[in-house]
Amino acid sequence: MTKSAAKRRVLTVVMDGVGVSPVTYGNAVAHAHTPNMQWLRGAAGYLELAAHGKAVGLPSDSDIGNSEVGHNALGAGRVFDQGAKLVQHAIDSGSMFSGDTWREIIQRVAGDGGTAGNSAHGKTLHFIGLLSDGNVHSHENHLYAMLRQAKKDSVRRVRIHVLLDGRDVGQKTAEVYVERLERILTELNSSDFDVRVASGGGRMVITMDRYEADWSMVESGWKTHVLGMGPVYPSLSAAIAEFRKDPALTDQYLPAFVISKSSSDHGPCGTIESGDAVIFFNFRGDRAIEISRAFIEDNFSAFDRGRRPDVFYAGMTQYDGDLKIPPRYLVKPPVIDNTLGELLASQGIRQFACSETQKFGHVTYFWNGNRSGYFDRKIEEYVEIPSDNIRFELKPWMKAAEICDETVSRMHSGAFDFGRINFANGDMVGHTGDFDAAVEAVATVDLMLGRLIDAAKKSDVILLITADHGNADEMFDAPPPKDGSDPYPYLPIANRPRPKTSHTLSAVPLFVFDPKGIVKMRTDIAKPGLANLANTTLSLMGLPQQAGFMPGLV
């Protein structure tokens, strides 16, 4: 085997969703048992990094970070304009509506400009996506802009299939978005423009599965949106009102539903038929790929689609550039080239990536610049630990131990020069809103850090420990008491504030642990962020920093 150019070995550990906040109220990170993180504060180099807003390519610093853009920045070493910013620019500039895909859609469903040719064939433009202003997977304003443009372009019939959030926004905020959507529909509906909501459900129940963790979600979405199968309600508001009768049911877990044609005709008002066009208006890729495959693939075997309509299907963007999913899309994704992984592979440096299913794509696809597959399979090893298909608060330790087992084994055997792993616990459990489970999730990650520190000492591997964004650091959707008190864990669950399930604007920690001594961190870089870690990694490995990357921090 050719001797590696790397002088030292490095392992990047991503503690997904573990942010840093001085406020202990509702802070599962602060309340968790974290002796290893506390030890690292004195035994390792330490900085806090920006992981949201402009630091990761989002429109403004009021935008929360997310795992996809976070891992893009970690792997790219630079900041690229990301989903929400790209889409909004395309709308504002008009390039979305002048592009080939939008014009093909209009030609398909409006045909001769919305005269009898359209209505005779019943062609419909369908929108499927997350009704939210969380700006992580989608933004409601993008949908509204497309609805208005569809009317201008003489489309006559539109149906909307809404996915309710409760994850990147408040747990029970569906009414806010429903009211805004219905106001827009009232504004737009006319004798020559028929727009209605046709179906929907919670994002963790239908349609938005990722990494093939639970295809039954996508199957349920297909049956609901395409076939019109499911419990029928007279309106979106009526469906939400019915679900609110169960106080334990939050928006992300709302059951699938179908909207009827009228009070006298309980048939579905908007099934998807051959000749129609479908736009999936989420801009983020991970939870858009599977439903896209169901629409576009001829040889599809994940579930029985039954009737498969011949539709023109387009994504808001292309969700997988290598696999061309989908082949038609409205907004070009960022071109992220020359990533850290690609650079190391070109130099023959052995790489290892590992996570469980829920975050496996983040240490592979997103880390590598939205690129599927290996750069050089002979020197790269990607290990996926299958996630359990249960609600994460029921097993907050998830697959952390199994990820650690695989990693420690390779540290001792010298199997990699650069490794990257992701512990999903802080994020996936944080999204459930269950404070106690989130505390246990963070404690689990800290326990794994102890094992990695021990292995690093024995194998001379440098640990670069960070997070991709905050989440578990802010679990209550309410400000702390004015007297500064923090009643957890004594406050009964029934009396606690409303849970917060979204990401946060918090900074994230960076610990650099070198078994040979404390690493001196640079303090001359204003507002360091995740993109600074690629060149940091190169420096720790004894390799030249890459021109064009953000400067390293050591």
> Catalytic residues, which ones?
67
**Do 202 and 161 contact (CB within 8 A), yes or no?**
no
**Do 11 and 548 contact (CB within 8 A), yes or no?**
no
Q: Which two tokens stand for residue 32?
A: 């968790």
Kindly report the CA angle at 453 between 449 and 455, in degrees rounded to 5? Answer: 115
Give the residue from 403, 446, 428 showing the smallest Cα distance to 30: 446
C-alpha 366/C-alpha 341 separation (Å) is 11
Q: What is the torsional sign of CA 140, 251, 61, 484?
A: positive
Q: Is 98 exposed, middle or buried (0-12, 13-18, 19+ CB in 10 A)?
A: exposed
Q: How many helices (H) and strands (E) does the chain have?
A: 18, 15
Give the residue from 287, 280, 293 showing the smallest Cα distance to 101: 280
Q: Which residues contact 343 (CB under 8 A, 6 or more apart)?
A: 546
Other beta carbons less than 10 A from residue 548's beta carbon = 10
Q: Where are the beta strands (DSSP E) in 27-95?
A: 45-49
C-alpha 388/C-alpha 404 separation (Å) is 16
